[in-house]
Amino acid sequence: MHWNTYTTDLDIPNNWECTSYNNDALPSYQVCGLHIWVDSGDATERQANAHDIYGLGVGDALPPRFTVFNSDFYNGLVTDESPELLATDSFKELLEFVTTKGTN
């Protein structure tokens, strides 16, 4: 499975700018000052990604499907360590977060 299939089950809003490129481990989007990483909806694929991306082993907690950071950190405009702003498996929760916490 290639990461370009990770969003086929999602209704990504039109105003989300795709910032993915070939060398990324996961697809990503920017909207309202936020940078959103999207992992696979398939638990087996996400577990494999957890090993490759985070170095987690089998039996470790499954990472969330959606992780949100400040886009300034991703874009290199700030150099401080940027903690995740949201980590969730819920697309509905992600959409609500973007609506209420986004800056634009």
pLDDT for residue 1 is more than 90: no
Residue 53 C-alpha from the chain's centroid: 12
The amino acid that residue 78 corresponds to is V
| pLDDT tens for each residue of 71-90 | 876 666 666 666 789 999 99
Best CA proximity match to 10, nearest among 90, 69, 97, 88: 90
pTM of the full structure:
0.85
Best CA proximity match to 70, nearest among 38, 95, 103, 27: 103
Best CA proximity match to 84, nearest among 33, 19, 35, 40: 35
| pLDDT tens for each residue of 2-54 | 777 889 999 999 999 999 888 888 999 999 999 999 999 998 888 888 887 77
